[in-house]
Amino acid sequence: MGKAGGEGDPPQAPELPVLSRTWCSDTTMEALACLLQQNPRGILVVADELAGWMGSFDRYSQGKGGDAAKWLEVHGARSVFIDRKTGNPRVIYIPRAAVSIAGGIQPPTLQRALGREYFENGLAARLLLACPPRRAKRWTDAVIPRDVEQAVVMVFDRLFSLMPSTDQMGDPEARTIRMSPEAKEVWVPFYNEHAKEHADMTGDLSAAWSKLEGYAARLALVVHCIRWAAGDPSLVNHSFADEKSITAGSRSPTGSA
């Protein structure tokens, strides 16, 4: 009997369902931490205007930029603690805060939003910027062939099927993808050439250059995973990134480092 005044213990409250997420838009670091607890594989933050994302750093910190330090930590997918004044739990711990950020911003807006403090704390160096050349729009009746669309859907489905490893306690942990011997022969010259260029740099350029080495490895991993998901027959062992993936991640389209 679960009613008031009846016999027996009341029924247990049902567990709240968890909505699996892969991306979010406007969010605070506290809200993002809650999402990461439910989605330990990581989250993509899609910011239509990156100026709004940067402005959110001060949203609940009286203009002191309290979230900026946390965003610096998630760049390396490191552990993050969030202390809350209200709510349950009061402390949120994310052992591996894997977050990617993508968005657009106009150059003049970027210049205003990316203040000097973001160069000094390292945030600017962690942003990978791209500015494609402007082109006039041209009308086209071309459509994406259905087989191409289905192939892209298959790639995303296979990428989503990738699951983390588990440790001795059964908790998820990241899988390690190593380089093949042939890939290492491509990586080592790039590493040495990049380090030589970096040694002569100072200031903001040196800070940005120090992050590019890591981006090369990340881009190579992205290429490796997409090739696996697309069923690339030249990828012999999916547990090792080969020279083709490393070259794609560490070389510019012109072939230079």
pLDDT at 124 over 80: yes
φ, ψ for residue 168 (rounded to 5)?
-65, -25
pLDDT at position 257, please?
52
Task: Inform me whether the pLDDT recorded for 1 exceeds 50.
Answer: no
Percentage of the chain beyond pLDDT 90 is: 48
Contact 105, 50 (CB under 8 A): yes
pLDDT of residue 63 exceeding 50, the answer is no
C-beta of residue 237 within 8 angstroms of C-beta of residue 170: no
Beta strand extents in 69-175 (DSSP E only): 80-83, 91-94, 99-104, 165-166, 172-173
Res. 256: pLDDT tops 60: no
Q: For all residues of the chain together, what is the average pLDDT?
A: 86
Instruction: Label residue 142 by pLDDT band (50, 70, 90).
Output: very high
Residues 6+ apart with CB under 8 A from 87: none
- CA dist 154 and 204 (Å) reads 41
Check whether 8 has a pLDDT greater than 80: no
> Residue for token digits 């049902």?
14
Distance CA 228, CA 244 (A): 12
Mean pLDDT of 172-192: 92
Is 187 a residue whose pLDDT tops 90? yes
What gap in Å lies between CA 90 and CA 184, rounded to an integer? 45
Tell me what the mean pLDDT of segment 201-229 comes to: 94
Task: Report pLDDT for 241.
Answer: 96
Q: Of the ranges 176-180, 182-186, 248-252, which one carries the lowest mean pLDDT score?
A: 248-252
User: Per-residue pLDDT for 78 more than 90?
Assistant: no
Q: What is the pLDDT of residues 30-61, one digit of tens each?
A: 888 889 988 888 899 998 888 888 887 765 55
Distance CA 50, CA 72 (A): 16
Q: Which residue has the higher pLDDT, 26 or 102?
A: 102
pLDDT at 167 over 90: no
Question: Is the pTM of the predicted complex or chain greater than 0.75?
Answer: yes
Cis status of the peptide bond prior to 95, with omega within 30 of 0: no
